[in-house]
A and B are shown apart, each in its own frame.
Chain A
Amino acid sequence: MRVALFITCVNDALYPRTGRAVVALLERLGVRVEFPMDQSCCGQPQYNTGYRHETEPLVRRFARAFAGYDHVVTPSGSCAAMVRDNYPRIGARAAAEGRGGGLAGAVAAVAPRTLELTEFLVDVLGVTDVGASYPHTVTYHPTCHGLRALGLGDRPRRLLRAVRGLELVDLPGAEECCGFGGTFAVKNAAVSAAMGADKARHIIGTGAAAVCTVDNSCQTHIGGTLSRLGSTVRPVHLAEILASTEKEPW
C-alpha cells in the first residue's frame, strides 16, 4: 500500500507539529508514508472566493503530485472536501469550457482516493484504538467540512474515546460553524467575530483544557479568538492527540 501525505499549505507553514504528528502516528501503525515534494496548496481559498480559473493549475499540480498512490491522507477536513467535492466540478467545467487538457481524468484518478486522516484510520486501517495516551479534558468541535461535506460522523469521537486518560466533554452547539470560512473572516469580519466569540464562550464553558478539531484553519480562528479573550484553553489537532503516547507525550 503506497500512502502519500498531503500536508496542506496551512499546516506546512504554520502547524508543522501536526504534520510531524501524522507521520509519527501512521508509522507507529506500520504505514510507510511518502511525501511528494511537488505538492502545494489545494486551491480552496481561491476557489471559494470565486477564482475557479486561478485554481485550475493547483488542481493539475495536485493530480500530478499524487498520481499513483493508493491513498492520499490529509489532516484537514476542508482540504479533503475541496479535493473530493470540488475537484471533479472544476475538472468538468474546464472540459465544458474547452480548457480541459485531461484535467477531469486526472482528477477522477486521485480525488476519490484522497482521505481525511480519521477516514483513513477507521475505514482503511480499521482501527479506533491507536494506542494513544493524552491525560487531559478535551472537547471536540466537528468542523463544518468534516461534519457535513465529508460526513465524518462519529469517527473522530470514536478515536478520541479510545485514548487513555482522555476525558471527552460535550461542546454545546458543537455543529455550529466557528465563523472562519476562509476569506469570510475578512470580508464579513463583524459576523465572523460574533460567531467566533459564541464558539469560544461555549468552549470555555465546558471547562476543557483543550479543544480538538480535524482542521487547523478553523483552529487558527478559534485559537486566535480564545487567545484574545485571555483563555488558556489550548487548540489542538486530533492528530497530535493520537500521536501522543505514555512514553512520548506529544
Chain B
Amino acid sequence: MPAFPVAAAEAVGDARLRGNLRHATHTIRDKRARAVAELPDWPELRAAGAAVKDRTLRHLDHYLERLERAVTAAGGHVHWAADAAEANRIVTALVLATGEREVVKVKSMVTQEIGLNAALAEAGIRADETDLAELIVQLGDDLPSHILVPAIHRNRGEIRDIFRDRMADRGRPAPEGLTDDPADLAEAARLHLRRKFLDAKVGVSGANFMVAETGTMVVVESEGNGRMCLTLPETLISVVGIEKVVPTWRDLEIFLQLLPRSSTAERMNPYTSMWTGTTDEDGPRAFHLVLLDNGRSDALADTVGRQALRCIRCSACLNVCPVYERAGGHAYGSAYPGPIGAILTPQLRGVTSELDASLPYASSLCGACYEVCPVAIDIPEVLVHLRERVVRGGEVTVRGTRTVIRPAGGHAAERAAMRAARWVFDHPGVLRAGQRLAARTRRLAPRRRLPGPGRAWTDTRDLPPVPAEPFRDWWRRSRGEGSGR
C-alpha cells in the first residue's frame, strides 16, 4: 500500500467516488445529529460510556478471566489468540474439525482485520458474507471502505452491475432484468442468501460486546442476517477483540443507547442478539469464542493511546471527517478507515511501514471526530501523540515487551527545519531581523511559486503579500521601546 497522501490524492481525483461519499456521509451525519439531540442526557451517557470502558481496560485481565469462566460454565469453549495468524489457525482448525467446507458470516470488523476469509480460502473453506454491504464488497472482489457501510463508495448502479455479473459465481444468480431500485437490490440479495442460511452448519461472527459476569455475547445489527447466522448453524465461532468486554448487563444499557444513535442514527437497532454458551435444543450445539489480542495489549500499555480501545465501532467519526469524505476508506489501508483508523492502525500494527507512519498525519486536527465520538476518544490528542512517535521514536510496547523504536524514515529535513524554527522563535532578535529582511525584500517574494516542499502550497493557493512593517516594529515605532517589558 502507498502512503496515505498518495492514495488519497488519487481518490480526490475520482469525481464519482467523491460524489458517492459526500452524499452518504452527509446524509448519515445529519440524521445522527437529530437522533443524538433527542436525548437530553447525551453528555452524561457519553461520559458514562467512556468511564465504563476506561475502568474495564484498567482491569482487563480480571474481566477477561471472569468472562472465560462464565463462557466455559455455560458450555462454550474459549481460545486465546495473540495475533492474526494464531486466530486464523484456530478458526480454520475448528471449521475443519466439523467436516464442513462452507461457513456463513456475520459482518465483523475483527475478521476483516485478521484477513480470516483469505486464510479460510487457503484451507479450502468458503466463507460467505451475509450482510448486504459486505456481500456487495465480497462479490466485487473489493475491500470495505467504511466501518458501518462497507460499500459506501458504491452507488446503486454499480451495485446492480456487481450483482448481475457476479452472484452466479457464489450461488443463486441475480434475477433477470435486475434494476437499480433499492428494493429490487435487497430482494436479489435476500434470494441469494436464503439458501445459504438454511444450509449452513457453521457460522462465524464477531461481537459488539461481551458481558463478563454471565459470559454473554452481543451482536447489534439492522438486517436480520446476523440473527440467522447466530441461531441456525450447529457450530458458532465468534472472534472478538479483547477490548470488547464490559463488566455487567447494567453497563450494556449505556452502550445500547450510544451505539445505534451514533452509527445508524436510530433510536434502537432492529436486531440485538445475545447468546450465552449453548442451550439444549435451541441454537448452535457448539460455541467457540476466540479472544484476539493482535496488538491490543501493546496499545493498552500506552497511557495516551489506549483511549482508542474504548471505540465501539460506530463510525460517527468517519461520517463527519472532511478528510475521510475526500480520501475514501481504501486510502487508510486497513479494516479501520477514517479518524479512528488513523489512531488505531498505527497502534495495532506499529509505524514501521510508510503507510502506517503516514496515518497519524491524515487529519487537519479539526476536532469534529472528537465532538461526535460517543465514548469521547480525544482523537486529535492521540494523533499528535502518534506523530511524535513517528518523528521521534522512543519507548513503545511490542508484543508485551518494552522496546525503543527509531524515528520513521523521511523526517530528517523536517526535523532540522523544526529545530531551526524553534531556535529562531526562541531568539526574538533574530526573528525581528528576519521579519525586517522579509519586509524590505517583500517585492521579491513569490506569491505563486514556492520552491521545495512549499510548492504543494502554491500549486492551488496564492500566498499573502508580505507587509511593509511587522507588527512589533509598528509597536516600537508608535509606542516606543518602553511600553512593553
Residue positions of A touching B, CB distance < 8 A: 7, 9, 11-17, 19-20, 23, 34-41, 43, 45-55, 57-58, 61, 65, 89, 144-145, 147-149, 175-177, 179-197, 220-221, 223-225, 227-228
Contact = CB atoms under 8 A, between A and B. Distances in A.
Contacts of B384: 47-48, 50, 52
Interface in B432-456: 435, 438, 453-454, 456
A29 to B, nearest CB: 18
Contacts of B5: 187-191
Interface residues of B, number: 67
A193 B460 contact: yes
Contacts of A220: 463-464
Chain B facing A: main interface SS? helix
Contacts of A65: 485
Given A40-B425, A221-B461, A149 B474 contact: no
A55 B391 CA distance: 14
B483 interface: yes
Chain A facing B: main interface SS? helix
Contact of B12 (A40, A190, A221): A190
A51 B415 contact: yes
B414 interface: yes
A49 B365 CA distance: 11
Contact of A181 (B13, B364, B435, B456): B364
Contacts of A182: 365
Given A50-B384, A184-B361, A223-B464, A12 B367 contact: no
A180 B363 CA distance: 10
B469 interface: yes
Nearest to A184: B364
A34 B484 contact: yes
B402 to A, nearest CB: 15
A197 B456 CA distance: 15
Nearest to A17: B467
B38 to A, nearest CB: 20
B457 A37 contact: no
Interface in B390-428: 390-392, 414-415, 418-419, 421-422, 425-426, 428
Given A177-B364, A188-B361, A191-B323, A228 B392 contact: no
Given A16-B467, A34-B485, A148 B363 contact: no
A14 B467 contact: yes
B4 interface: yes
A50 B390 contact: yes
Given A40-B431, A190-B9, A228-B460, A50 B370 contact: no
